């Protein structure tokens, strides 16, 4: 019985270590300024660490030199379980819960939000990011490149 418990404890310790590495990689990968485009609109996301270890982001859409959309984004929580909270134009924040994560892919969901109800961030490499927005029958895919 002791050997089974020791084996389980060793496996759990390894899993926790892997999750810590994935979280660190996630923060390191996301920090910085990202740029994408959708038609004639420029899309930007900028992420920076907060003093409490969470991440704060700002996102916006720029069309013909004017900002037509602006949001603040917060990744919060302990360990690898993070919430993705969005505040748009002073409205009530919308929170998405992390339902799936892997080394380079994170999937948040809020089934009560019409669009998007699902946010999927997938790192193609250290300099490229794919964001998939899903809700109902609609799905949009955005591609970003790290600026700095």
Q: What is the CATH number of the domain that holds 140?
A: 2.40.128.20
The confidence score (pLDDT) of residue 68 equals 86
Residue 11, pLDDT > 70, answer no
Buried b (16+ CB within 10 A) or exposed e, 32-43: eebebeeeeebb
Task: Summarize pLDDT for 47-85 with one digit per residue, the tens.
Answer: 998 888 788 999 999 988 888 889 999 988 766 658 999
Residue 127, pLDDT > 90, answer yes
The confidence score (pLDDT) of residue 97 equals 94
Q: Are 146 and 127 in contact (CB under 8 A)?
A: yes
Q: Are 71 and 88 in contact (CB under 8 A)?
A: yes
Cα end-to-end span (Å), the chain: 53
Residue 79 structural domain = 2-146
Instruction: Give how many domains the chain has, as a whole number.
Output: 1
Chain mean pLDDT for the chain: 82
């Amino acid at each position: 019985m002791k050997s089974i418990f020791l084996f389980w404890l060793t496996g759990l310790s390894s899993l926790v270590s892997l999750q810590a590495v994935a979280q660190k990689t996630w923060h390191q990968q996301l920090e910085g300024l990202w740029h994408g485009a959708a038609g004639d609109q420029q899309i930007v996301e900028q992420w920076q660490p907060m003093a409490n270890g969470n991440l704060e982001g700002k996102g916006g859409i720029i069309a013909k030199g004017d900002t037509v959309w602006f949001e603040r984004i917060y990744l919060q929580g302990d360990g690898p379980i993070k919430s993705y909270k969005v505040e748009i134009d002073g409205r009530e924040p919308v929170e998405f819960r992390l339902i799936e994560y892997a080394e380079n892919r994170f999937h948040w969901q809020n089934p009560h939000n019409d669009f998007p109800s699902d946010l999927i961030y997938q790192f193609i490499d250290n300099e490229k990011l794919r964001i998939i927005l899903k809700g109902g029958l609609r799905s949009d895919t955005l591609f970003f490149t790290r600026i700095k």
